[in-house]
Chain A
Amino acid sequence: ELKVEQNPLFLSMQEGKNYTIYCNYSTTSDRLYWYRQDPGKSLESLFVLLSNGAVKQEGRLMASLDTKARLSTLHITAAVHDLSATYFCAVVQVTPLVFGKGTRLSVIA
């Protein structure tokens, strides 16, 4: 059974500093997604990572994938308040999109 673990589950970030969220998964997969969810809202797609070594960047967020280590990271550069949300990674195997529990980010001044 595919398991997806994120850490940390909660992260309080200071504005202007850099942080990393980790996503580990238990079995081979060829696709990993990152989603953002604001309170009371649905899931917004951020990145789709398809291959080992894939790196994608959008604004202050950068995601990477290491399929050999079964690890993806979401790096946040110079955190700003607008990034406060819950971030989910999700992995595809036979069952589509098995989600982690999410990382709740809060940016403080």
Chain B
Amino acid sequence: EAGVAQSPRYKIIEKRQSVAFWCNPISGHATLYWYQQILGQGPKLLIQFQNNGVVDDSQLPKDRFSAERLKGVDSTLKIQPAKLEDSAVYLCASSLLRGRRGNTIYFGEGSWLTVV
């Protein structure tokens, strides 16, 4: 079974530039998450989708971050303009159904962003 796919794996940009990350969840998974993991810390939720609708984006810095999941499958996370503190790993994850007890949440390998 294919896992959660993410690209690009690595990106280096200058501050104030923009960047976009792509995620393809496990087939059939209705719920998709984007997490930010700063070096040495645990992942922090940025946004959660159920199919193509946003369930929780309370921790997404909306002045510079945006995300979409137009057809309820793939998702894109964009940062514009980037700041130095955005340097992190951006993890996409998916699960079958939101709120379903016992659901395992599967993570992709992450997109590593360095802002210089």
Contact = CB atoms under 8 A, between A and B. Distances in A.
B85 to A, nearest CB: 18
A100 B107 CA distance: 16
Nearest to A102: B42
Interface string A71-106: 000000000000000001010001111111110000
Interface string B72-116: 000000000000000000010100001001111111111000000
A44 B72 CA distance: 24
Nearest to B89: A42
B105 A30 contact: no
Contacts, number: 55
Contact of A43 (B43, B98, B103): B43
A50 B33 CA distance: 21
Contact residues on B (Cβ < 8 Å of other chain), bracket? 20 to 34
Nearest to A44: B107
A33 B103 CA distance: 10
A31 B42 contact: no
Contacts of B35: 97
Given A41-B109, A42-B109, A42-B110, A96 B33 contact: yes
A41 to B, nearest CB: 7
Given A42-B109, A42-B110, A96-B48, A48 B104 contact: yes
Q: Mostly helix, strand, loop or mixed at chain B's interface?
A: loop
B100 to A, nearest CB: 10
Interface of A: 4, 30-31, 33, 35, 41-45, 48, 50, 88, 90, 94-102
Given A41-B109, A88-B43, 8 more contacts: A30-B101, A31-B101, A42-B108, A42-B109, A50-B102, A96-B48, A97-B43, A99-B43
Contacts of A35: 107
A90 B42 contact: yes
B103 to A, nearest CB: 8
Given A95-B45, A96-B33, A99-B42, A43 B107 contact: yes
B42 A42 contact: no
B34 to A, nearest CB: 12
